[in-house]
Each structure stands twice: as C-alpha cells, then as structure tokens.
Amino acid sequence: MKLLKLTGFIFFLFFLTESLTLPTQPRDIENFNSTQKFIEDNIEYITIIAFAQYVQEATFEEMEKLVKDMVEYKDRCMADKTLPECSKLPNNVLQEKICAMEGLPQKHNFSHCCSKVDAQRRLCFFYNKKSDVGFLPPFPTLDPEEKCQAYESNRESLLNHFLYEVARRNPFVFAPTLLTVAVHFEEVAKSCCEEQNKVNCLQTRAIPVTQYLKAFSSYQKHVCGALLKFGTKVVHFIYIAILSQKFPKIEFKELISLVEDVSSNYDGCCEGDVVQCIRDTSKVMNHICSKQDSISSKIKECCEKKIPERGQCIINSNKDDRPKDLSLREGKFTDSENVCQERDADPDTFFAKFTFEYSRRHPDLSIPELLRIVQIYKDLLRNCCNTENPPGCYRYAEDKFNETTEKSLKMVQQECKHFQNLGKDGLKYQLTKIAPQLSTEELVSLGEKMVTAFTTCCTLSEEFACVDNLADLVFGELCGVNENRTINPAVDHCCKTNFAFRRPCFESLKADKTYVPPPFSQDLFTFHADMCQSQNEELQRKTDRFLVNLVKLKHELTDEELQSLFTNFANVVDKCCKAESPEVCFNEESPKIGN
C-alpha cells in the first residue's frame, strides 16, 4: 500500500452521486483518472474506515479478513472489468461482503440489515451506527518509545490500527477527513520519533490533529443532521450562504451550479459511502479550479497544487475581497413594487437570490444568523403580500433584519458574560441540565466542545459570528444525525421545529422537569488515592465524569448552588492529595461534597 497523501480531499466534504457518470472533457478525465488511482492505491485504508464505522464492535482481526477480501475483489476487477460483480456500486459490494462474513451479522447484531437490499440496506447500516461510543474500550495508548518502535518495525500495521480505532469511534466522520487525520498522525509519528524528547513532541503535535478531527466531526454531523431532519433544501441554503461569503464576486448562476454539486447528492457521504464521497469531493474541487477566474482571486496558488493538496489549501484560503462595485445593500428585495410577483413566480430561486445577495454583503454575520434573516424575510413576505399595500409593508424589511441581528448579538454577549461568571466548569455542565437523559460520555464531550467555543471566541473582534457558528455546531451534535433520535420533549422540539432558530430555542430552555434522577448512590462520592496520581488529562476526565453525574443527580439546583458543589469537590481533592493518607481523607471528606 502506498503512502497516504490525501490532505486535499476534504473541501466541504459532502458530495455523492448515486452512480458514477463518466467524464467527457479532457480536464475532467484527468481528474477522474487521478482520483480513481488514489482509490485503487488506498483500498485497504478505505475498507478499514467503512467497516469500522458500519460495525463498530468488530475486532481488528475481523476487519483484516474483510480488507483481504476487498483487495482480492479489486484485483479481479482490474484484471477483468467485464465480470458481473464489477458493475456494482462499491458500497453495495462492501456491505454484501460484510453480510457474507460467517457469523458476523449475528454476533454484532446487524443481521436485520443484511435481509435488505440497495438503498434500504444502506440506510439500515447507517441507522445502526452509534454516536455514543461508551460501549467501546478506552482508546489504546502506547508509551512513546513503544509507539516509535512499532512505527519503525511495522509502519503499516500501526497506521491500520490507528485508523481502525479512530474510525469506529467517529462513525459519522467522512472518509476523506479520517484519511487526512491518518496522514497527519504519520507525519507526527515520523517527526517525533527522531526527537530526543519524544513525549513532549507527541503530546504537543497531536493537539492540532485532534482539534482538526473534532472540528470536522462536529461540522459533518451538524450538516448531516440538517439533511436528515429538514431535507436537501436546508443544506442548499446553508451552502448558498457559505459560498456567497467566501466567494462574493461569483455570479449567481455559477454559485447555484456549484451549490448543486455540493449539496444535491449529499446523502451518500452522510451514509458513509466512502468511495463515492472521495470521487465527488474531487469533482467539486475540479469544478472550482476550472472556474477560478469567475469564483475567487484567492485560490490561484491552491489550484496549481496537485489534487491531494489543493482542497485543504482552498479551505484555508481567505474570503475573497468584496467587489468594489457591490453596493452596501440590494434594494430590489425591499424597494421594488413587484417583490410579491417575483416571489410567487419562482419562490426557491427568489429566496436563493436573496440569500446570495445578503450573504455576500455581510461577511461578518454567522451562517445561522443569515439563515434566520432568510426565515424572517420569508415570514414577512407571507404577511405583507396578503395586505392591501405590500410595498408599504415590506419596505421596512431591513429594520426587521437589523432587529434580529441585534437580538442575536445581545444573546452572544450575554453568553460570553455568563461564561466569564461561571467559568469553564460551570458552563461545561449546562447541557446536562437540559438533556440529562444523555450518557455521561456524550455530555462530557458536548460540554468540552461548548467550552472550546466560548474560550476560542469570547475575546475575538468577530466574537458574534464565531460564537454563533461554533455553538450552533454543538447543538447540532446534541440533536444528532439520526432523525429518530429522541432526548426529552423540550430538546426534541428545539431540534426538529426550525433549523434557523434552533439555537435561540435552546437558549430559552431550563432544567428538564420531566427527568427522574437516578437513585442516590454513595459510590458516586467514593474517591481513592489514584485521583492524586492521575495525569492532568486523566484527572480532568475523572473530574468531568463525576461532575456530570453530580449534575444529573441534582439537576434542579441553581447555577450558584452547582458552583458551590464544584468548589467543594475541588477543595476536597486539593486537601486530600496533600494529606498524609489520601485514602483516609477521601473516605472522610467525600460524603460532604453533596451536602
């Protein structure tokens, strides 16, 4: 297997066609051929990702059997493409082979999926994925010296194990992202294993790789959840806003063509069709670079790079400069006498144009805020166009937009102030109060991400857009990808009622009064001397788990009362770890924490 170099296969990450349409233009043929070669060269990695995400409980040895089978299949088809099995979609072949593994469907409880075919089977495998991975053992860790020895003695085995462990814990992350993570992991291992201080090097350089995975994981689950709960149209408008901000000089017709490439066939990537996802990611990048003169002046150097690198470059490129002739506002949506007639003639195109024009004029606004403004405009016209004087009604639309933005801005300012008052610990457990039904692991993870959002954004000049974008991703992850996910009536209402106003809905929620806490257990307040021996990361994990479970038990308490409990806990740990006998101290002091 050749060295993975997929850093570029991640631009927006959300593209799939149900079957492959062969290209006819020379540039497209070149792009298709290079992408196909990449897939063929990396079939083992691609199979590991797909299998580990579909059957998260499967062992590494079971995964190796499927990899061997898929490599043999690839070799047969490359030797003779006329074989009947070679005309099937790769994802269908993969799932057929998973189902054919003796005893595996029964052992891991997915035999019901194997009785289905084609689209129904793909959806069944998708709904079988579990975002809460608490059932898996802790992520295996090696001593830095052992890791380096393993890398030097059998690089391929180490990478395979790494990809398998990461993929099964991130079942909704797209294959291009996981492959990129594997590239970065190898770069870190290769570099740090040559360093004197391997431990410090690995710890420091692993942080951005982990952050990269978490960021893309949140975003992909967010948009896949939007697709499954609200349909393609919502994803379409998300990308009109994103691309209009990034490429403000693009023509509307070109924008819609690009958006359709990105969003119209989104479901396959969300389902986990790894091969087609990679193909269509490459297709979108090729689209952008073939039209770069009319799309952006910031991506020329990116498009000169080879396919594996250019996508990452495009993602990291700055927003293009605002066209000099672009007016501060587009009057045709508020000043024209014929707004209602234009809306009625083609509502989808009309509101797409409005989203395009408003987004490219407001690069400072968050994507959720732009979607709220679109919804406000839709509601306004629904009312105005039924009055005797529609123009006199909708000419004040800008006031409504500004009012909505001002309200959202105040919400963010209050949240940042709340964060400063509560601190990291206080904020981290707010989601536990509104969704205590979630598992401890999920709540810890979501709390960490919310803290990251506010820590990252609350001191920036672009605080509003930063907080609004990142917090919206956390709520998207809370709502989940699966359309059938249910938590409690209040949370379910916010998740399913209106995508644009989901975050304001969550901000109004109080502690869930329908929740019945688990019975009190003294075990929760039982600590041992190993609390004092834990490393920083492990100690934080134990602390987070305890505090989430404490909030579940006492979720009706006020923020001030909870803050007092957190302080009690911190004081007990500090006191007992300094004591001559920590174990005796914990036995005496721990029961006092909850009082």
| SS3 letters across 161-174 | HHHHHHHHHCCCCC
If one compares 483 and 79, the residue with the highest pLDDT of the two is 79
Q: What is the pLDDT of residue 501?
A: 94
**Taking 50 as the threshold, does the pLDDT of residue 22 lie above it?**
no
Query: Within 10 A of 209 (CB to CB), how many other CB atoms are there?
Result: 17
Could you tell me the CA-to-CA distances from 201 to 49, 139, 152, 207 in Å, in that order?
Answer: 27, 20, 17, 10
Classify each residue of 261-280 as buried b or exposed e, where b means 16 or more C-beta atoms within 10 Å of its C-beta: bbbebbbbbbbbbbbbbbbb
Structure tokens at 50: 């797909």
Residue type, 264: S
- Which pLDDT belongs to residue 10? 26
| Better-predicted residue by pLDDT, 177 or 109 | 109
Give every CB contact of residue 480 below 8 A, 6+ residues apart in sequence.
131, 221, 225, 495
User: What is the C-alpha to C-alpha distance for residues 522 and 519, in angstroms, rounded to an integer?
Assistant: 10
Does residue 138 register a pLDDT over 90?
no
Residues 6+ apart with CB under 8 A from 388: none
Instruction: Read off the pLDDT of residues 265-313 as tens digits, 9 standing for 90 and up.
Output: 576 788 888 888 888 777 888 888 888 888 888 888 888 876 556 666 7
Say if residues 441 and 134 touch (Cβ distance below 8 Å).
Answer: yes
pLDDT, average across residues 516-522: 83
Q: What is residue 40's predicted lDDT score, i.e. its pLDDT?
A: 76
381-406, pLDDT tens digit by residue?
999 999 999 999 999 999 999 999 99
Tens digits of per-residue pLDDT, 186-244? 899 889 988 888 888 988 898 888 888 888 888 888 988 999 889 889 999 999 999 99
Q: Residue 9: pLDDT above 50?
A: no
Task: Please count the CA atoms within 13 angstroms of the CA of 215 that sit on its side-chain side.
Answer: 14
Cβ-based burial of 22 (10 A; exposed 0-12, middle 13-18, buried ≥19): exposed
5-18 mean pLDDT: 27
Specify the higher pLDDT residue, 181 or 358: 358
Cβ neighbors of 132 (< 8 A, separation 6 or more) are 438, 439, 441, 442
Kindly indicate the confidence band of residue 247, based on its pLDDT and cuts at 50, 70 and 90: very high
Q: How large is the average pLDDT for residues 103-124? A: 93
Secondary structure class of 345 (helix, strand, coil): helix
Residue 384 neighbours by CB distance under 10 Å: 19
- Are the C-beta atoms of residues 189 and 232 closer than 8 Å to each other? no
Assess contact for 355 and 377: CB atoms under 8 A: no
298 contacts: CB under 8 Å, gap ≥ 6: 317, 318, 319, 320
